[in-house]
Amino acid sequence: MGEVYLARDTKLGRRVAIKVLPDSVAADPDRIAMFEREAKVLASLNHHNIAALFGMEQAGGRHFLIMELVEGQTLAGTIAAAPRGLPLPVVIPIALQIAGALEAAHEKGIVHRDLKPANVKITPGDMAKVLDFGLAKAFSIDGTSGDVSDRATITATHLAPGTIAGTPGYMSPEQARGQAVDTRSDIWAFGCVLFEMLTGRMAFSGATISDTVVSILERSPDWSALPAATPPHLRRVLSRCLEKQPKARWRDIGDVRIELEDSREWALPAGPSERKGSRVRERVAWAALVLVAAAAAALLTAVRTAPEAREARVDLLFPRDVSPDFAQIALSPDGQQVVTAMNFGGP
């Protein structure tokens, strides 16, 4: 969508990024209009996880944007350095920051439409910055738009009416079909990025663009590629992001962010207090198991010594952190085993 250069703001003494239109389309009215629209989109956003726009200028017949210079490498580069996927303590904070950036854009009525690892920078301070709103568009309340750019381009090289807007491999099914898109298309792309962070591979790919589109429309991701340690809660969040029918997908990226907040505890390494709490729960669990064994022995003794009895009563006292579920108690047909569900006060 443009060429980006490192530059220095001599007035304010800071380094910035300068984005200009390529020479081949610098005089194209449609591209200039799209360039100006990107500037307006960025000017309406103010979020610490979105690269900021400082200004738009024109000189010598050329249009250019003055933007925040984001140091670091792209998320694509970070993933490439970890072909088996990033660890959960790295994935969850990045995912939360990307979700926060999308939430800010969606609240302003803006759909990014080209979210992918290459459009996310990770700073040396581990802050995620979403870049390149060049394909972004405003959407109406009913999610429809007459904007011809809905059918603008499938690559970043040119615009041609009748083709598709987006990057193969991260486009939602409705986007791949050239249909109108809304915020749920960004949620799909977010799911693709999350899957790639977890596994080190794209959720949907193919030898050609056509093969990739077929994969998006007809196939499911390889769920077996997810690490075995991926929490069930996170799997559910991800699967709902990648529902092929928009109505079955998460409706709001803010809901996804909240769900990911619940996954944060799975991603954090245990600190001293957490390890101490874990040991306490472990001791409580063992105590509870001893009590269950004693209860089972008492119950079995009652059954054996009084075969004519139809029931036996056993009174038990459990530690405060233990919650037995006697609604799920079961006695084997031969009277030899007793089973019940118990909560030991921790995950």
What is the predicted pLDDT for the residue at 248?
96
State yes or no: is 114 an active-site residue: yes
- Residue 8 and residue 137: Cα distance in Å, rounded? 30
Domains 3-68 and 73-267 share a fold: no
Phi, psi of 6, rounded to the nearest 5 degrees: -80, 135
SS3 at position 16: strand
CB–CB of 262/233 below 8 Å? yes
Give tens-digit pLDDT for 291-340: 555 655 555 555 555 555 455 555 555 555 555 555 566 667 766 676 66
pTM metric for this prediction: 0.70
- Residue 323 and residue 281: Cα distance in Å, rounded? 12
- Residue 258 and residue 254: Cα distance in Å, rounded? 6
Q: Find out if CATH 3.30.200.20 is the number for domain 3-68.
A: yes
Q: How many CB atoms lie within 10 A of CB 343?
A: 11
Residue 215 confidence (pLDDT) above 50: yes
User: Bridge partners of 57?
Assistant: 64
Give tens-digit pLDDT for 102-127: 999 999 889 998 999 999 999 999 99
One-letter amino acid at 202 equals: M
Which run of H or of E encompasses 285?
helix 272-305
What is the predicted pLDDT for the residue at 329?
66
Which run of H or of E encompasses 91?
helix 88-107
Give tens-digit pLDDT for 172-192: 999 998 888 899 999 999 999
Q: Could you say which DSSP state residue 51 is in?
A: P
Q: How many CB atoms lie within 10 A of CB 329?
A: 13
CB–CB of 54/17 below 8 Å? no
Q: Token pair for residue 79?
A: 């993933």
Percent of the chain with pLDDT over 70: 68
CB–CB of 267/91 below 8 Å? yes
Q: Find out if CATH 1.10.510.10 is the number for domain 73-267.
A: yes
SS3 at position 141: coil
CB–CB of 309/303 below 8 Å? yes
Q: How many CB atoms lie within 10 A of CB 74?
A: 18
> Which residue in the list 114, 132, 182, 186 is annotated as catalytic?
114
Confidence band of 211 (pLDDT split at 50, 70, 90): very high
Sequence-ordered list of residues with C-beta below 8 angstroms from that of 72, at least 6 positions apart, any chain = 121, 122, 123, 124
By the 10 Å C-beta count (0-12 exposed, 13-18 middle, 19+ buried), 11 is classed as exposed
Domain boundaries, the chain: 3-68, 73-267, 273-343
One-letter amino acid at 318 equals: F
By the 10 Å C-beta count (0-12 exposed, 13-18 middle, 19+ buried), 76 is classed as middle
